[in-house]
Structure 1
Amino acid sequence: MAEITFDDFMNVDIRVGRVIRAEPFPEARKPAIKMWIDFGDEIGERKTSAQVTAHYTPEMLLGKQVMGVVNFPPRQIGPFMSEVLVLGLHDAQGGIVLIGPDQDVQAGERMC
């Protein structure tokens, strides 16, 4: 993978948000969950869908803090418009584990 500059990194706006609503996304081609995430006063609420059903149910996601890229353009995912890319890692079986802070922080805090 090509090296990037620090300025390249700073152009990716990664913020913490709190999941305030989550529901199944049965229309998705692969199992997914729709999430509405509060990124604080500056960014506001954004929605997304994520293929995180291996480890999470909608109920488990409520109140969870997650990291997301908030400066990608919206993307149509079937009948749903995704406005943020939540970040995660693959486990040994290929399931996605979401990335978030290990302590509670203010919604909208930018990754540094």
Structure 2
Amino acid sequence: MAFLYENEVERHCEQKITGTYLAAAVDCWFPSTGKFYPRMIKYQDENQMIQCIKDIQVLYSEQKYYAGVQARKFQCQAVVDGWKKEFILLFFPEDGTWNLIFPST
């Protein structure tokens, strides 16, 4: 007989985000509240050029579990290639990596 806590049930419910996944380097701000906020992102585009996104507006962030792996999801928007775009940043604390995701429309 097994019992699941409510948050363990939620871990199994997250689905993969569809879109273009890119490895990213992220500069963060760590205020005294213990939370952290992305300030700048650098990533390599499909032409192997390094792109930079600044002036990021975090719409919200939440703790998620994807296939049982803990991640911090940031829903963001910023001007990218001259257009205001929404995108997702995923931080995986287990290995300290970031993914930048431009969702499919």
Q: TM-score range by the shorter chain?
A: 0.3 to 0.5
Higher RCO by CA contacts (8 Å cutoff, separation 6 or greater) = 1
More helix as a share of residues: 1
